[in-house]
Amino acid sequence: MGFKSLLASLLLISAASAQLSGRVGPTSSLSSKQNTICNVLDYGGSIGSSDIGPAISSAFTNCVLKNSGSTLYVPAGNYNMKTWVTLNGGTKWAFRLDGLITRAATTGGNMIAIENANDFEFYSANSAGGIQGLGYQCRNAGPRLIRMVTSTNFSVHDLILVDSPEFHLVIQQGSNGEVYNMAIRGANLGGSDGVDVWGSNHWIHDVEVTNRDECVTVKSPSNNILVERIWCNQSGGSAIGSLSDGTAIQDVVYRNIYTNGGNQAFMIKSNLGSGYVRNVLFQNFISRGTAYGLNINQYWSSQTPGSGAGVQLSNITFQNWDGNVVDGVQRPPIQLICADGAPCFDITLSNVNMWSQTDKAVVKCESAYGSGVSCIKSGSTHTSYAVVTQSITRPAGYSTPTTMSGDLTTGFATNAAIPTPTIPTSFFPGLPQISPLAKNL
C-alpha cells in the first residue's frame, strides 16, 4: 500500500471512530465493583432452581442497592426462571452471570430488564453464561431475553443468548453503552431480532447473530452509533429501521460487517413517514448468498405506511463492498428505492462490487441522487422519478467473497431446541476481536 493510500485509510478510520461522541462503557473498573458480592445463593437461590428470578430480585434489592461497588452474582450452573425481573437504578455495580438461565414461563415482557443503571457492567466471567429462551415452545408469544433501558455508561459482554421467543437483546435509549463478545442464536424466522439499538453514543462490536430477522439494527432516535466486526451468520441481516414518522438518525457508522446467507447484506427500510437519516457510513462489507444485497426500500410492504411523504435520506456512503446475492435479476444486488415525496440525495457508492451467483443481475433506482451505480441520477435538483431498472455486468473489482470457518449452511429449525454455542474470537474475516474474551483475561 502506498503512502497516499495508507494516509487515506487512516483518515477514514479516524473519521469513523469520531462517530462516537465520547467514551463508552462503565466509568469505574470492574474490580471496584467487587467490594460486596451479592450471590443469589445467599438470597434464596440454588443451583438447579426452578425459578431463580426471586433470588435475583432479592439480591439486587437487599444487597446491590445498599452497597455501591457491588456485584450481583449468579454462579456457574443451570437455573430455570419463571419470574421476570426489572432491576431499576443502581450506580457502580455489576451483574455477573456465569450460569445458564432457561426460560420456564410464557409471560411476555423481558426476562431481565436493567433500567436507569449508571456505571454498570453485565457480563459472564467464564464467557459461557447466558440465557436459553427455548423459543420453539412459545414462538413469538413469550418474553424478550435482555433489555437495557435508559441506562448510562454501561457494557454488556461475554454473554450467550439462545432462541428467544421474541427479541434477544434490546438497547433502549440511554447513552455511552458498549456491547461486545456476544453469541446470539435464534430460529430461522422473523421476530427473532439479534440486537436492536437506539439512543446516543453506543458501540456495538464483535457480535455473532443467527436468526432470520434483524442482525444488528439501529432504530430511531439515534445518534453517534458505531457498529463493527459483526458476523451475521445465516441471519436476516443488519438494517436501519423500520422507519416511520418522526425519524431522527444521524452520525452512524457500520464497518467490517460479514454476512453469510440471509435476507440482505444491509437494508434501510421504511414506508413513507417523516424525519431524516443522515451522515451514515457503511464501510468494508463482505456478503455471500444473501437474497438482497445493498438495499434501500422506502416502500417496504411489510410495514404500515407512515403519515408523512417519506423519511429524508442524505449524505450516505457505501464504501468497499464485496458480495453476491442468490439471484441478481429476481432481487438486485443493489437497489435504491427512495421515497418520491422525499428523494434521497448525496448517496455515494465507492468501490462497491456486488454481483449474483447466477452471473446475471440488474440494479434498480427510484428517486435517488448521487453517484457510483448506473441507475442513480446526479444533480442538485432532486425531483422524484419512476423506477429505473438496468442490467449490469460483473464488476471489475468483484471477487468471490471469503468465508469463515464457522459459517453455517442453513438456519436453525423453528420447532426444536437450538444448541448453546460458544463465543467466537473473530467476527470478520482476517480481523481479531477488539477485546479478549473475559475468560482469557
Catalytic residues, by residue number, are: 213
Say if residue 242 is preceded by a cis peptide, omega within 30 of 0: yes
Strands 110-115 and 144-149: parallel
C-alpha cell at position 56: 435475583
Cα–Cα distance measured from residue 435 to residue 427, given in angstroms and rounded to the nearest whole number:
12
Can you give the C-alpha Rg of the chain in angstroms?
22
Cβ burial, residue 47 (10 Å; 0-12/13-18/19+): middle
Cα–Cα distance measured from residue 348 to residue 314, given in angstroms and rounded to the nearest whole number:
10
Residue 273 zone, left/alpha/beta (φ > 0; ψ -120 to 50; rest): left
CA distances from 408 to 228, 269, 290, 404 (A): 20, 26, 13, 9
Cα–Cα distance measured from residue 386 to residue 267, given in angstroms and rounded to the nearest whole number:
20
